Amino acid sequence: MNTSLKFAFLLTLNALLSCEDSPVDSAGTSIVITDKTSYLSQENVIVTVDNVTGEELLYYVCSGVRNAPFMIQQLAGTKWEPLYAPICNGLTSYCCKSILQKEVTRDTISSQYFTKGFYRFEYSFRINEERKEYYSKPFEVR
């Protein structure tokens, strides 16, 4: 199994099994931000990654995903459950692209993924050879 495919598999597996929340960087600033905290069911969600970490954020490029891949999680009772994550096929996916220090990226996420409930985004980056997850603050879809 090539290195890129191993990294993608471990990244996806670890993201699905991860229970730790790391919504902020070491300076206490959230780097994953949604444009609102509450949405109507037909509204798209704009999510921003603002790299204020002081480090370059490396990520695995998944086929068909323009920016850093994310996972959408839905609150089920008291636990966050994975709802959506892109499939990295290994054919047109590769390691690594980066978000440079002070760089900002934005994605518009279609309302098709959301029904009524509470959600958050998870992004996983490699920083200095260590993987770290960042989460948006929870938001509601009404």
**DSSP sequence for the chain:** --HHHHHHHHHHHHHHH------B-TTS-BSEEES-SEE-TT--EEEEEE--SSS-EEEEEPTT-SSS-EEEEEEETTEEEEEE-----SSS-EEEEEE-TT-EEEEEE-GGG--SEEEEEEEEEEETTEEEEEEPPPEEE-
Q: Are 109 and 85 in contact (CB under 8 A)?
A: no
Mean pLDDT of 74-96: 89
pLDDT at 2 over 60: no
**What local confidence, expressed as pLDDT, does residue 25 receive?**
45
Question: Which token pair is 11?
Answer: 């990244």
The CATH architecture assigned to 3-141 reads: Sandwich (2.60)
User: Which of 3-7, 32-36, 121-125, 133-137 shows the lowest per-residue confidence on average (mean pLDDT)?
Assistant: 3-7
Q: Which carries the bigger pLDDT value, residue 20 or residue 111?
A: 111
Q: Which residue ranges make up each domain of the chain?
A: 3-141
Percentage of residues of the chain with pLDDT beyond 90: 59
Return mean pLDDT, the chain.
Answer: 82
Question: Over 50: is that where the pLDDT of 100 sits?
Answer: yes
The string of pLDDT tens digits covering residues 14-71 is 443 333 444 444 445 689 999 999 999 999 999 999 999 999 999 998 877 788 999 9
* pLDDT over threshold 90, residue 106: yes
Question: Which pTM was predicted?
Answer: 0.78
